Homo-oligomer: A and B are copies of this chain.
Amino acid sequence: MARPVTLSASEAAGGEIPAIGVGMLGYAFMGKAHSNAFRKIAYMTWPPPLRPRLVAIAGRSEEAVRNAAERYGYERWTTDWHDLVADESIGVFDNGGPNVVHAEPTIAAAQAGKHVVCEKPLGRDADESYEIWKAVAATGVKHLCAFNYRFVPAVRLAREMIDAGELGEIRHFRGRYLQDWGDDPSLDTWRFHPDEAGSGALGDLGAHVVDLARYLVGDVATVSALVKTFLPGRQVDDAIEAAVEFENGAIGTVESTRLALGRRNAFQWEINGSKASLAFDMERLNELQVFRNGSRTRGFTTVLVSEPTHPFWEHWWPPGHIIGWGDTFVNELWHFLRAVAGETDVAPLGATFEDGYRAAEVCDAIVRSGQSGRREQLSYRGL
């Protein structure tokens, strides 16, 4: 090059923004979703509360974990999660592994002083979830149960409307999480093994419904439920149906299934209040349906939740340029890093391990009701 180059060195490492080391357990579906989120937080949320440094990833298969480390840019990999716990450069332990490995590694990481993220369901049942919550809460670290759908902008907007009293008295919640991939007898995954998963559609999908029910309406008081396994030989539930009553008097339904043909990721809910109603479908996650009483031209309004005034939208694009499912994890883990940085608390807008535990109590009550044929009352343990 003949003429002088004036390129300047950039503060490529993020300048004064402090870094935080991330240790990830799991490299599959959730490993991809969470790793993508940590990478995007570094520049989509600007300035990020902390700059995630992808330190290490752990998983059972050496080949898969090595590949994941290379793919997502982790500095190191291991087949033994204890290495993550022992690694002092890791400040956040993110557990995206199968349910069976939620408890021990998460507790160990917290006891090693790391802030912890754990995928839902927190434990395989309420007892295990309670143990995780109790043990982790005792350490004083920040904890997030990764109910990422709280971080869909439309869902957060719903919450803000409810908090502001815009719905009035809530009468109904109807939530259903419908998928259809379960109708294949030849499928095998840890999600079909009770010891690894705890339950089937209940813990996988129903837990999400329960969490948003709690997030938006409040705690559940009773459940009257059916639990069903359709496929011969399958050892976990394929679907659950529940009539539910909330502590605040609202009534409704909680449903989840892996056999709703044609519904690929249809987490749909509707809330009817005395002043307004809301409806949502995860397959159109950028939209919130809002009905407000009053005008001659009232009706359900399709709010495209993508405005500067809408939750999380400061990170994204101009209005109408929608985000994707994967982006909800960016919002979620950004919130968590803010909590870690002391800028906010995980609760009440994010789900803590207490929320993970309480959702598990409802799921357990659904199982009990399915077996007993009785309306089951909920009771929740404290620390």
| A residues neighboring B (CB under 8 Å) | 1, 3, 5-12, 14-15, 29, 33, 35-36, 39-40, 42-44, 46, 56, 66, 69-80, 82-83, 86-88, 157, 161, 171-172, 174, 176, 178-181, 183, 222, 224-226, 228, 230, 239, 241-245, 249, 251-253, 255, 257, 259-266, 270, 272-277, 282-288, 290-293, 296-304, 306-307, 309-310, 316-327, 369, 373-375
**Distance to closest chain B CB from A244 (angstroms):** 8
Chain B residue with minimal CB distance to A252? B241
Contact A303-B297, Cβ < 8 Å, known A11-B70, A272-B262? yes
Interface pair B375/A230, CB less than 8 Å apart: no
Selected from B56, B76, B260, the residue in CB contact (under 8 A) with A171 is B260
Instruction: Determine if B323 and A10 form an interchain contact, defined as CB atoms under 8 angstroms apart.
Output: no
> Chain A interface mostly helix, strand, loop or mixed?
mixed
> How many copies of the polypeptide does the oligomer hold?
4
**Chain B proximity of A357: nearest CB distance (Å):** 24
**Chain B hits for A228, CB < 8 A:** 245, 249, 251
Give 4 A-B pairs besides A226-B245, A288-B297, A323-B324 with Cβ atoms closer than 8 angstroms: A228-B245, A262-B272, A321-B324, A323-B325
Residues in B neighbouring A369, C-beta threshold 8 A: 224
Given A43-B36, A77-B8, A257-B272, verify A277-B301 contact (CB < 8 Å).
no
CA distance A15 to B71 in the complex (A): 9
A319 touches B181 (CB 8 A): yes
A185 → chain B closest CB, angstroms: 11
Residue pair A291, B261 in contact (C-beta under 8 Å):
yes
CA distance A69 to B272 in the complex (A): 41
